[in-house]
Amino acid sequence: MAVITTTRRTELLGRTTSPTCKYWLAGRCNRNPCRFLHKLPTLSSNVYYKHSKKPHSCVEKMRSSSVKKPTNCAPKAVKKPANCALKSVVSAEKPTKCEQKGVVIEKIENVEDVAALAMASVEKSRSICKYWMTDNCVHGDLCQNLHSWFYGDGFTTLAKLYEHKKVVTGIALPSGSDKLYSGSTDGTVRAWDCNTGHCVNTISVDSEVTSLISEGQWIFAGIKNAVKAWNIQTGANVTLDGPKGQVLSLNVGNDILLAGAEDGVIYAWRCNSEPKAESPFKLVATLSGHTKPVVCLAIGCHKMLYSGSMDHSIKVWDLDTLQCTMTLNGHTDIVTSLICWDNYLLSGSSDCTVNVWVCTEEGTLKVAYTHMVENAVLGLYGMSDVDAKPILFCSCKDNSVRMYELPTILERGRLFTKQEVRSFEIGPNGLFFTGDGSGLLNVWKWLEEPKVPTS
């Protein structure tokens, strides 16, 4: 194996030539121009240089002119190489002064071998190269960061939909529809043709859309002080008033539309069956208890509603009585996302943790496991892979989405975007969608169709 050591070479040769850049050899040099060489030396044999305070006269000649007579110069520059080399072999435990001050340049027979060695020594990180994202990375295959929008097996990216100008905060795919809907803080809801990927309709709401869901033939969008509703079959649109501040989360459970608002209250509407009603929805309750904005809502088994808030707490509500049954305190920062999987509740937080909650014999919930991540958790989402294994998607503030297998929570892969992923939706035939902070809507696909999607 060819090894190049460049320690103090500039001193030993009187700074006549720059040493080979060790970062270039590892594929990590980001300086242009670099004061070190980005090429390999062509010496034909091992040479040991002995350092001295006053350079030899031969070295002075090398400074002022080109080396016309290397054969005469070499014996003067190298003082007793045989003895020095012998000492380095015999006394391996105690390095000699020559080894400490000298420079060893092993014989290089093939430049391609060294390049291959440099590539093999590069340990790929699990972060995407920010220079590659802008087509400015100069390292190519030697770059230690990833030149790909994802890593992992079993899935790929199909398309990128560019229309939104700001954060995509919600994605909805109504059952039986050939349209995909997305909402953004740019104040629009867009409809996309699932066959062509083109935007076919844009609805302006004159307010930031901070949440979006679909239920039946209705699309619901959370905006400031209201919820907008559109019927995709009849074309009717309705404004549901009542919330105070921005509506940050939406969900439907037990035939009730639920909206978590900035004032810390959860608003609940039922379908209005009165024939002459002004609105098809009627406000039936307001669920108070949180002291700060309600960020996320999840529907679990046994008709339970879970709400996460900026007050660091999770509240459990009975959907039959619309009463709070318990409060969970397991996070030290904003509870950003909730998801129910089988009999477990999973919660993500800005405190860089994912908590797994289980039901105790007393009927309460306790944290059975806490998974730590490097950055704040923005969202949790779930679906199954081609082998029907449940996969947890964990969006983080480092512009990545980690994929974990459940129940082991072993990392399966990772998706990357230019800005953090704020929305996620599962589609048919192994499709899933992510929306990020730049306004980009990504279409992903499992290589085979998942068998059983998770809730």
Per-residue pLDDT tens digits for 77-107: 434 444 433 333 333 444 444 444 343 334 3
pLDDT in tens, 415-427: 988 899 999 999 9
pLDDT in tens, 220-242: 999 999 999 999 998 899 999 99
The beta-carbon contacts of 149-152 under 8 Å, at least 24 apart in sequence, are 149/415, 149/416, 149/417, 150/413, 150/414, 150/415, 150/416, 151/126, 151/413, 151/414, 152/403, 152/412, 152/413, 152/414
Phi and psi at 59, nearest 5°, equal: -70, -35
* Lowest mean pLDDT across 63-77, 186-200, 264-278, 292-306: 63-77
How much is the average pLDDT of 108-114?
A: 44
Q: Which domains does the chain have, with CATH numbers?
A: 9-142 (no CATH), 150-446 (2.130.10.10)
* Residue scoring higher pLDDT (127 or 218): 218
Residue 9 binned pLDDT confidence (cut-offs 50, 70, 90): very low
pLDDT in tens, 385-403: 888 899 999 999 999 999 9
Phi and psi at 196, nearest 5°, equal: -100, -20
**pTM for the structure as a whole:** 0.70
Q: Is the pLDDT assigned to residue 163 strictly greater than 90?
A: yes
Provide the β-strand partners of residue 193. 179
Residue 160 tokens read as 């990128």
